[in-house]
């Protein structure tokens, strides 16, 4: 029996090279079978691999977006594409003469233009530069993260760039593809990391007036305030155990594994007892190595697990898998040769000519030429230049 095609097989995506969120949206599409063609910028040395690590399953061409003559190449490619990922700040495509509504959708009415920004397009920060930490700051999410008595703490750039940005943009693209099944028309998808991050925090926001999240930062059950939802250092310096024993039966299993009887400790239901419990757990976890605690808690319902580090996962042969497994039509293998631990290495132009041949039937020297800096131009433009 033949293997079913991935769910996005046949979908053609043009990804304008950008920072993390845009490439991540393209990566999600590529991992589930879409043909993703990355558009890189011209460079004095086009043999240098891109610094972007999120290039798995993608191909590349180089196009000079600042050269209006190159727009014809891009528009020809977009005439056969389903999706364009625009990672630029508001107004950049318009200034380049590539307005989605005035140019791109008129050129290809079925095209989905996915535009991703950090700040809202209509907010007070719309014309300002920013990064993940700024977007989650003005979304209200950053104010809820961090230990009690300490400054808010951003968890790398996972919330804004990837979850609130790239993943939300991916969702918008899928919704637009579904909508096109009924209307036959593409549309502009607008995603921004402020709204995306705020949406991810919906449960927290809706619980601000409930006991789950009505205390200051770092003093709630899920933000490090609770002694039974926290991390503890073991006898191995720098090696930690994570505890998430929220429910009473799980908490009982935790106490059993730690060697406590219920009567040994004050009630966890009184928040004033939390510092006492945290001190007791801290002391007890430091009495054994992480491996010893694993031997105690593995297979139990104590919700206690080791905090595994990336290096040891790689050394142990942990294999990254697609985020969602579809039983009949799942995604492509993730770097089967190395388990998903390396990325990048995509030299601009890699595989792009094959993609252009598949999409458009183009061949170098017939429909297009390649400039010294790697940028594509139509072959007849070169002929016109000689006249």
Place of tokens 């014809």: 72
CA 123 to chain centre: 23
Smallest CA-to-CA distance from 78 within 56, 92, 93 is with 93
CA dist., res. 157 & res. 15, Å (int): 21
Catalytic residue among 82, 161, 223, 230: 161
CA dist., res. 370 & res. 21, Å (int): 29
Taking the C-alpha atoms of 354, 358, 361 and 366 in order, what is their torsion angle to the nearest 10 degrees? Answer: -10
Q: What is the helix (H) or strand (E) element at residue 58, kind and residue range?
A: strand 58-62
Place of tokens 């609130």: 164
Evaluate whether 135 touches 199 at the Cβ level (below 8 Å). Answer: no
Evaluate whether 281 touches 291 at the Cβ level (below 8 Å). Answer: no
> Catalytic: 161?
yes
What are the counts of helices (DSSP H) followed by strands (DSSP E) for the chain?
14, 11
Phi, psi of 204 (to 5 degrees): -65, -45
CA dist., res. 352 & res. 333, Å (int): 21
Q: Residues with catalytic annotation?
A: 161
């Amino acid at each position: 029996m033949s293997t079913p095609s991935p769910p996005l097989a046949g979908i053609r995506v043009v990804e304008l090279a950008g920072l993390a969120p845009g490439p991540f949206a393209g990566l999600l599409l590529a991992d589930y079978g879409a043909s993703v063609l990355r558009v890189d910028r011209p460079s004095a040395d086009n043999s240098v691999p891109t610094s972007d690590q999120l290039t798995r399953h993608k191909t590349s061409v180089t196009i000079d977006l600042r050269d209006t003559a190159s727009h014809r190449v891009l528009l020809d490619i977009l005439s056969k594409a389903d999706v364009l990922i625009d990672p630029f700040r508001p107004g950049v495509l318009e200034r380049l003469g590539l307005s989605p509504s005035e140019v791109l959708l008129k050129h290809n009415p079925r095209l989905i233009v996915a535009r991703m920004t950090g700040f809202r397009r209509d907010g007070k920060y719309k014309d300002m530069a920013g990064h993940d930490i700024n977007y989650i700051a003005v979304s209200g999410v950053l104010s809820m993260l961090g230990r009690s008595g300490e400054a808010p703490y951003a968890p790398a750039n996972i919330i804004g760039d990837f979850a609130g940005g790239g993943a939300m943009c991916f969702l918008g693209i899928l919704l637009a593809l579904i909508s096109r099944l009924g209307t036959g028309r593409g549309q502009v998808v607008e995603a921004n990391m402020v709204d995306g991050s705020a949406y991810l925090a919906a449960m927290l926001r809706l619980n601000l007036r409930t006991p789950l999240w009505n205390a200051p930062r770092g003093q709630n059950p899920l933000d490090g305030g609770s002694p039974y939802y926290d991390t503890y250092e073991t006898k191995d310096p720098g090696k930690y155990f994570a505890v998430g024993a929220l429910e009473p039966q799980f908490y009982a299993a935790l106490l059993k594994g730690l060697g406590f009887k219920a009567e040994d400790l004050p009630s966890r239901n009184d928040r004033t007892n939390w510092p006492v419990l945290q001190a007791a757990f801290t002391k007890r976890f430091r009495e054994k190595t992480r491996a010893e605690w694993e031997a105690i808690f593995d297979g139990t319902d104590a919700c206690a697990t080791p905090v595994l580090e990336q290096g040891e996962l790689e050394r142990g042969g942990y294999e990254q898998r697609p985020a969602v497994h579809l039983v009949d039509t799942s995604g492509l293998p993730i770097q089967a040769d190395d388990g998903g631990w390396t990325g990048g290495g995509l030299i601009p132009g890699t595989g792009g000519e094959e993609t252009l041949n598949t999409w458009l039937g183009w061949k170098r020297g017939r429909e297009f030429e390649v400039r010294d800096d790697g940028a594509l131009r139509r072959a007849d433009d070169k002929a016109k230049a000689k006249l």
